[in-house]
Amino acid sequence: MEGANWWQRLWHIILPQMRGVIEFYVVVSVITMLAAVFSYVYIMGGGRGGPGTSTTVVELYIFNALIRSSLPGIAAAASVLLFLVSVALIFPLFRARRDLEA
């Protein structure tokens, strides 16, 4: 550490120690991005998804299929697809972590 400038300390000491925290934050942020839009669309669009269906997101589609249309099978299928997309976005992060540890 003696003689290291700020960038060297950041790159070789601070960031490697914070790697787990950074990875956790990225995973939580991806999940939040997938789920945070529903409340805005629901409130601004009156629960219908804007004019017509122009602002319908997957979460609103699931909600409408389950609550308004009484189609629990369609809502469950859409929920599974949303889960698979979430896993597809998060899986590379876990794989990169495993590759860095090896």
pLDDT per residue, tens digit, the chain (102 aa), is 678 898 999 998 899 899 888 888 888 887 788 778 888 888 888 877 778 778 888 889 999 999 999 999 999 999 999 899 888 878 887 787 777 766
The one-character DSSP state at 14 is I
In a domain, 9, yes or no: no
Continuous segment of H or E residues that includes residue 12 = none
- Please tell me the pTM assigned to this model: 0.67
57 in Cβ contact with 81 (< 8 Å): no
Domain membership of residue 73 as a residue range: 19-101
Asked if the structure places residue 49 within a domain, the reply is: yes
> How many domains are contained in the chain?
1
In which residue are the tokens 């189609």 written?
Answer: 71
Q: What is the pLDDT of residue 26?
A: 82
Model pLDDT, residue 84: 92
Model pLDDT, residue 54:
83
What HEC string does 48-91 produce? CCCCCCCCCCHHHHHHHHHHHCCCHHHHHHHHHHHHHHHHHHHH
The amino acid that residue 5 corresponds to is: N
Task: For residue 91, tell me if it sits in a domain.
Answer: yes
